[in-house]
Amino acid sequence: MRPWLVLKRARIEFTQEFHPLQRDEPRAYMAEVSPFALVPSMKLGDQLIGDSWAICEWAAEQMPGLWPADPTVRAQARMLAGQMHAGFMNIRRELPMDIGRYGEPRATLDDSVLTDIEKLVRGWRFALEKSGGPFLFGDWSIADAFYTPVASRFRSYDITLPPDMQAYSSGLLETPEYLEWQALAEAESWVIENTIPGED
């Protein structure tokens, strides 16, 4: 989702292919088009960029304004985006992406997930208290794109956040780009089998 949101915000035209994951056919196909057999991957003619961060940085070089203009603030935005790009693995594992799930809490949350959420909220507050919002660094940036999927997870699993952080999280899911992604997801006819431990 992250680079898709960025490309849409930048109004960079692209064609897209969606493949149901966790099946043998997409895995074999991705091994042919990506050196790491991972999504997302973007083809530019006969060239390939196969990483969310790299695609977003490419987009930022094509269209100014995707990162904050001030060098220090821009570095802070990259700091927050980098934390999401490389971390919060407990949230990823225990709260898998499911746009079709709305406000359905898990029976229990592992302490490691709660620790991840607390860390994430500290990062959001660090930025929002300086910028005043509505997005992490005032205007929407790549940093916000990186946190939009986790905002969707919080809504799916009815995660309770402090009111000011909830307002930011909900705002990410009200952007035109996210709403377009959500509509595409809701139109999908295929279903990935449940992989959440302890849930039927």
Q: Where are the domains of the chain?
A: 2-63, 71-183
What confidence tier does 78 reach under pLDDT thresholds 50, 70, 90?
very high
Q: Which CATH number fits domain 71-183: 1.10.3720.10, 3.40.50.10490, 1.20.1050.10, 3.30.565.10?
A: 1.20.1050.10
User: 63 φ, ψ to 5°?
Assistant: -135, 105
The H or E element that residue 77 is part of is helix 71-86
* Structure-token match 């995660």, residue found: 159
Exposure string for 84-107, b = 16+ CB within 10 A, e = fewer: beeebebbbebbeebbebeeeebe
What confidence tier does 197 reach under pLDDT thresholds 50, 70, 90?
low
pLDDT one-digit tens code per residue, 128-170:
999 999 999 999 999 999 999 999 999 999 999 999 999 999 9
The structural architecture, per CATH, of the domain 2-63 is: 3-Layer(aba) Sandwich (3.40)
**What is the predicted pLDDT for the residue at 12?**
97
Section 110-126 average pLDDT:
97
Exposure string for 28-39, b = 16+ CB within 10 A, e = fewer: eebeeebeeeeb
Q: Above pLDDT 90, what percent of the chain?
A: 74
The pTM assigned to this predicted structure is: 0.91
Instruction: Please say if the pLDDT value at position 34 is more than 80.
Output: no
**What is the predicted pLDDT for the residue at 158?**
97
Instruction: Please say if the pLDDT value at position 200 is more than 90.
Output: no
